[in-house]
Amino acid sequence: MESQEMEQRLNKKEFDQWTKFKSIKNSQINKQEQELIASLHSKYYFHTFYLPCSCTPRQWNQWIKDINTLYDDGYRND
């Protein structure tokens, strides 16, 4: 599964959404941002969509870090 993950790249819309998310300088993430994070992570890391408890920022931080890794590879042209 590792190699499959590495071949995946964000599409242009997702890339733009993540660019906007990264530009927000706030330590709290709102419901819309949580849904963006959870949907991208479940899509690219092959798990069922769910929203982790906001009481566990470690999970959110890891997901953000994972998506940033995808983001750093740019986006695919579909």
pLDDT at 2 over 70: no
Q: Tell me the pLDDT tens digit for each residue of 14-66.
A: 999 999 999 998 888 999 999 999 999 999 999 999 999 988 899 999 999 99
Res 1 pLDDT > 50 = no
Structure pTM? 0.87
Whether the CB-CB separation of 8 and 70 falls below 8 Å is answered with yes
In tens, the pLDDT along 55-73 reads 889 999 999 999 999 999 9
- Residue 2 to residues 20, 54, 56, 64, Cα–Cα distance (Å): 27, 28, 25, 18
Provide the pLDDT for residue 8.
84
3-state secondary structure of 26: coil
